[in-house]
Chains A and B, each alone.
Chain A
């Protein structure tokens, strides 16, 4: 039998505030800071300490809620989620439960690979069930027979974003996760730095007979903290569950961990077996009542989001959808593209293919973050223009770009230093053409016999002989002319 997965995602994203959610302790890098450096009575759960809500955290949460097209609730309340774990100093986590800040939103995703269930790749709306505020826990590390607790991260504001079980493949899961990450970065609410654990994923996975609309027992996979883990973890779990049903077995409802090294999920039964969180309204925090005018002003300050930007790029710059999506995948990249376009005399389409091609390759090869592009937009624009106006050839342009990435410098200087300026002088090129036709009689014969593709090979020879400086249009013209002359 064929099985199809039903997947929902829970995402925890730290919010970019200066101080913690309920106290004035500084939010610090939990990897590099000394342990238990930013702590106080409130975030270490000292008896009698009380929480006071950080207004900025609420604002950032509303930003996200609005960006995800959620309904923002003008009255929400906090609740206590009660459970014992040593990274949770109070014995309960302050979260939101039956009256969250925002509900009923959506995120549009695009997948390249056909999702198994819906047949076609393409756009799909993933429904967001809820967006709520809560506090992060401390951090545990383990050595020998001991565990070590650091409460620096305890009380850092977290946003929990929960989808409906709308995802139907690991590809969709990844597409959703990266789209959400991009939106959070667009909104300046989260750094997106997944290696530091500022975004963490949990997936609820079940499988069912293809075409069925029933929901089977689901498992919850925790600590999926990279795109790779998300894909591998859900893939593994889909396969595991399908095989259980194939054997006629039953899937147990449980919490699973994901092992990065093996790519497998494992049972966490030893950890927290009975999930009875005994939620109740947090008596230490009055209801959060938001003014509609405040929400409206946050809405007015939202940046253009990936979806809208993509459409605009397609329309305004006449880009292909795929290119537009790539350029808008990160706000910094989209801004850079527009910066180059505004400085350049070349068509936007030309700029776009430069960025989508060589430029992205260099970013990836040199592991450069898009927020940290070393090449001023103006300089890149100049380089593209030099290719467009045939001062240099396209190939030389690539060489120059590489030089600019590695060692900096302006395009004109590099062209001069490397003597890359393109030659359109017909006399000079004709000499080379004649020599090449002379040196390759066999190829000339093939061409004359009707194998026109040989022309491209001959063009390559010209480019090589002139070190890429020959204007290809002129070179082609002269080649054809000389070949046709031989025919007679």
Chain B
């Protein structure tokens, strides 16, 4: 998308994004988001006033470079402590409804 164009936010776009973000929005939420997104994105388009052609992106905040650790084994967490938070667990596994793979 070109930087000068304005995005047209509609319910379809909101639904598409919601599906990508795994949010099951209600119809009311979808309707509310449309004008809110439009407003916010419109305001954010003030960034287009700036020519950033030759400006490098800032990306990472850290002052560090190449932070690594030695390949050393450290103690793991007992399985039960980890599973204590799991909504469902069995025989050491985290359990979920069956993942469907079409064959």
Contacts and interface: CB of A to CB of B under 8 A. Distances in A.
A and B pair up: yes
Interface of A: 17-19, 23-26, 34-41, 44, 52-58, 77, 84, 86, 140-142, 144-151, 257, 259, 266-271, 274, 276, 278, 281, 283, 285-290
A23 B68 CA distance: 11
B93 A150 contact: yes
B72 A24 contact: yes
Contact of B62 (A39, A57, A286): A286
B65 A142 contact: no
Contacts of B91: 35, 148
B100 to A, nearest CB: 6
Looking at chain A's contact residues, is the secondary structure mostly helix, strand, loop, or mixed?
loop
A145 B76 contact: no
11 contacts: A18-B73, A19-B71, A23-B74, A55-B70, A86-B99, A147-B96, A257-B101, A257-B103, A266-B103, A276-B20, A286-B64
A257 B100 CA distance: 13
Nearest to B83: A36
Contact of B94 (A36, A266, A288): A36
Contact of A40 (B59, B76, B94): B76
B4 interface: no
B68 A52 contact: yes
Interface of B: 19-20, 22, 59-62, 64-77, 79, 82-83, 90-103
Nearest to B81: A39
B22 A24 contact: no
Nearest to A266: B103
B10 to A, nearest CB: 18
B82 A267 contact: no
Given A19-B74, A41-B77, A148 B65 contact: no
A266 B96 CA distance: 24
Given A257-B101, A270-B100, A286-B60, A56 B71 contact: yes
Contacts of B96: 86, 146-147, 149
A244 to B, nearest CB: 19
Nearest to A26: B73
B66 A287 contact: yes
A350 to B, nearest CB: 44
A140 B19 contact: no
Given A35-B79, A147-B95, 16 more contacts: A18-B72, A24-B69, A25-B74, A26-B73, A34-B92, A39-B82, A40-B76, A52-B67, A52-B69, A55-B68, A144-B98, A148-B95, A278-B20, A281-B59, A286-B62, A287-B66
Nearest to B89: A36
A227 to B, nearest CB: 22
B94 to A, nearest CB: 4
B60 to A, nearest CB: 6
Given A24-B69, A25-B76, A147-B99, A44 B60 contact: no
A257 B101 CA distance: 9
Contacts of B102: 266-271
B73 A148 contact: no
B98 A36 contact: no
Contacts of A270: 100-102
Most buried by A among B20, B65, B69, B75: B69
Contacts of B19: 274
Contacts of A17: 71
Contacts of B71: 17-19, 54-57
A283 B92 CA distance: 32
Nearest to B65: A289
A57 to B, nearest CB: 7
A148 B96 CA distance: 7
Nearest to A270: B102
